[in-house]
Amino acid sequence: MSVYTIKKLDDNENYVYIPNPLYSIVKHSNEISFGTKTCHCIVKKSTKDKTIYICNNVWKRLMIPYTSKVHVIPNEEMIHIGPLVGVFTAGFTGSRLRPIGERSLFFAKMLSTEKTVGAFAFVFGANHINWEKGTINGYFHNSDGWIQSEIPFPNVIYDRLPNRKTENHNVLQDIKKRLQIEYSIPWFNPGFFNKLEIHQILSKHSVKQFLPETTPHPTITVVDDFLRKYNKVFIKPINGSLGLGIQQIFKSNIDNYYYCRFRQNEKNYLRKYKTLENLLTHQFQTTTLQHFIVQQGIQLLRMNEKPIDFRVHTNKDEFGEWQVSAIAAKVAGTGSITTHIGSGGTVKTMDEILNFTNLPTNIASQIEETVLSISLILDKEITGNIGEIGFDLGVDKTGKIWLFEANSKPGRSIFKHPKLKKYDKLSRSLPISYAVFLTKKSIYNPGVLFHEKT
């Protein structure tokens, strides 16, 4: 369906004026909905092209906050306009200028894509829901800044809870279940990925060729075996993110000492130990790493003697199909074991990397093919609606691709690079586009949408 502009008429009739050729499709409709709000209407033909006029009486009952562009989804005798997309998060400050603290700019940029896509998008948290009225006092963003408006419950909810601790809060879990079960609202990006679960899923498929050898809950014997086999290993928290808690261990052939690289309090450290037992005991307070994985170290391609890896974002679009929305390279900071920007890493475009390394010229297409295959597998295997994934991959000195991480709520630090602005905008707009797809699916085929994967 095409995108239409909706405007309010200042009269108290129940008329909705629809332009041709849409009028011929919806002329027998007698109800109109916005989000989960529905009211009676009388459809009239309009001479205006691409503009729908809604009388004030209907506009107010639907609780439409302002003039905008929307999709029109006719179904039986109902006209659905929207979608109304709720972005669910936490960490609201009460400030009018920065209502979601440091993340306010990110959300403002995301909401700014709504007119391009054809939707209404707002941000809300647990305290903004009025269960008795079935409304939300949501935050919208326009040229005048942040505004709050009371609107109906949305057609779709995009989960942007900031971390695992918040996500696991009982109150937020109950809200999610209630909105999904009682109100049948599709919810996408429902949770953070677990490193071990992702590894186990992918190990059953042909993409296992891209996985470094990984063992969960390693003992000192397992870590020692990995060091003998690979010379260098990584110890990672099973539920970690943003590179936090990762430590690199290697044994020197020169002095026979064990070395550990790690980052703490925004500084990179290198410590040496006489024995592996001393290292594990001091670094992890135990030699049995119950909440960690040990992973094969990879001899990554380097730029100026610093390791390089790649960040790739995939998103579902308005057709529910996966596409690559961003790809960039990251160069590790001096003395850092990861390429994360917070650890001193720098972002480079693919062209910049190709000019300074001996990577094959088609490496970008190889990486894109790899992440799209993995996205399809994770989408099929993991319960819930997944709309976006961020991947961290490496390429070794032989040109082989390795997958290090897959994240359901990827960070956006790569978009600070001025030449990645187009990727920034695309990856912000695609979640709203996917919400349009989920809205249509929930209207036309709700049984399929809410059927859990097995």
* Domains with residue ranges and CATH for the chain: 3-82 (2.40.40), 85-185 (3.40.50), 202-209+300-447 (3.30.470.20), 213-296 (no CATH)
Identify each DSSP E strand in 207-246 by its residue range.
214-216, 232-237
Helices 104-111 and 421-444 pack at an angle, to 10 degrees, of 60
267: confidence class by pLDDT, cuts 50, 70, 90:
confident
pLDDT tens readout for residues 195-212:
889 999 999 999 999 999
Across 78-113, b (16+ Cβ under 10 Å) vs e yields bbbbbbbbbbbbbebeeeeeebbeebbeebbbbbbb
Whether the per-residue pLDDT at 110 is higher than 80: the answer is: yes
Q: Is the pTM of this model over 0.85?
A: yes
243: confidence class by pLDDT, cuts 50, 70, 90:
low
pLDDT tens readout for residues 388-422:
999 999 999 888 999 998 999 888 888 888 889 88
Bigger pLDDT: 11 vs 150: 150
CA 255/CA 180 separation, integer angstroms: 59
CA 346/CA 145 separation, integer angstroms: 31
336: confidence class by pLDDT, cuts 50, 70, 90:
low
Q: For position 164, what pLDDT does the model report?
A: 86
CA 167/CA 158 separation, integer angstroms: 13
Whether the per-residue pLDDT at 453 is higher than 50: the answer is: no
Q: For position 302, what pLDDT does the model report?
A: 85
Whether the per-residue pLDDT at 1 is higher than 60: the answer is: no
Residue recorded with tokens 């000492």:
257
Q: For position 340, what pLDDT does the model report?
A: 55
Whether the per-residue pLDDT at 334 is higher than 50: the answer is: yes
Q: For position 452, what pLDDT does the model report?
A: 39
Average pLDDT over all residues of the chain: 91
CA 421/CA 428 separation, integer angstroms: 11
240: confidence class by pLDDT, cuts 50, 70, 90:
low
Whether the per-residue pLDDT at 105 is higher than 70: the answer is: yes
Distances (CA, A) of 223 to 133, 436, 451: 57, 48, 42
User: For the chain, give me the number of helices (H) and strands (E)?
Assistant: 13, 27
290: confidence class by pLDDT, cuts 50, 70, 90:
confident
Q: For position 287, what pLDDT does the model report?
A: 74
pLDDT tens readout for residues 299-327:
888 888 888 999 999 999 999 999 999 99
pLDDT > 90 in the chain, percent: 72
Residue recorded with tokens 């970008």:
364
Does residue 434 contact residue 113 with C-beta atoms inside 8 Å? no
